[in-house]
Amino acid sequence: MPQHPTSSSSPPPFPSPPPLITSATILLCTSLHLAFSAFDVPLFSFTLSPRSVLALVEPHRLLTSAVLHGGWLHLGMNMASTFVLSGSLERKCGSLFLLHLVLLLTLLNSCLYVAVAYAGYLVGHSSLLTSHAVGYSGTIFALLSLQVGSEAGERSLWGAVTVSSKVYPWALLVALQVLMPDVSFLGHLGGILVGRLAERGGLNALLPHPEYYRLASGARGPLGRFAASPLYFAPPAAFAGFGRAGAGACADAGGMVTGAAGLLRDALAAAAHVLGCAGAGAGAGERWARAGHNPDSGAGAAAVRRAEAASLLAPPVHV
């Protein structure tokens, strides 16, 4: 009988699922987008709107805006990047450490966005103050900036050009802005800046040492039940944090001050470039009052809500 040829090579292994926090992030963003689409939930109640955060005191927008998206393409691109980038970092630094880090980076990026928007308003540029932004890519840019900070090689930008790993986030920022002008330049820029701050150790004072998570994930630790899951990663023994010199809390605090000073300098320069500002404008307080932005006034809040309703005609910027 004729013999059928057999192949000695085995089929490629099926890709393993992403780690716990990465999987949870993808599931959360996808589920929220499905729910918002199915039940026609107004997206503008949860976007990053600096005016709503400041005048209406709606701080939930600082976090909710990151997990919402303006469309399926927007969601798909961000979740594909999350699958690769967040999964790699989670295996390197541990699941719970990454969760803490992502929440901190997202919050700082949103606060930076609001601060720059308000600074622009004070000098006569109110477009950012009245804008709406959604999307996870600000956090993705922060994680990317954090990851490439320790790399010495090169990266390819969509196969078109090869750049240094340290320059890659900046090249991607410019390329995306040229190809897709509707994306939020400030949201991506803020992600790069807070990522650099974390990579230099500027956030270590706000992040527990990885040893804390290693102990918490032990068999007798409070997170011991998760340690048996193949999706949960405790920080490897070789991982000591980002930019951590190992000199204790004083070095962490010093790194935070130094990193924050550099971040402030870069943020001010970026704000001046984006907004085209050259000096302080006069009568900012009067303009704020005339616009009805006094959160202590019921009439002021009503005026802001009327302006918010009018601004719904403009689509949100995709971060």
Which regions of 88-189 does DSSP assign to beta strands (E)?
133-134, 154-157, 161-164
The per-residue pLDDT for 86 is 94
| Residue 169 domain flag | yes
Q: Is the pTM above the cut of 0.85?
A: no
Residues 6+ apart with CB under 8 A from 102: 21, 25, 86, 139, 143
CB-CB contact of 233 with 95 (8 Å): yes
Count of CB atoms within 10 A of residue 72's CB? 12
Residues 6+ apart with CB under 8 A from 13: none
Q: How many domains does the chain divide into?
A: 1
Roughly how many angstroms between the first and final C-alpha of the chain, as a whole number?
64
| Residue 7 domain flag | no
Q: Is 143 helix (H, G, I), strand (E, B) or coil?
A: helix
Q: Which residues of the chain fall short of a pLDDT of 70?
A: 1-15, 218-224, 244-319
Helix (H), strand (E) at residue 223: none
| Residue 4 domain flag | no
| Residue 6 domain flag | no
pLDDT tens for 19-77 read 999 999 999 999 999 999 999 888 999 999 999 999 999 999 999 999 999 999 999 99
Count of CB atoms within 10 A of residue 192's CB? 22
Work out whether strand 133-134 and strand 317-318 pair parallel, antiparallel, or are unpaired: parallel
pLDDT tens for 77-107 read 999 999 999 999 999 888 989 999 999 999 9
| Residue 9 domain flag | no
| Residue 186 domain flag | yes
Distance of CA 191 to the CA centre of its chain: 5
Cα-Cα-Cα-Cα torsion 241, 247, 252, 254, nearest 10 degrees, comes to -140
Enter the DSSP assignment of 49: -
The per-residue pLDDT for 15 is 63
Q: Name the residue range of residue 239's domain.
A: 43-318
The per-residue pLDDT for 255 is 45
| Residue 21 domain flag | no
Tokens of 252: 């962490």
Tokens of 121: 């308003």
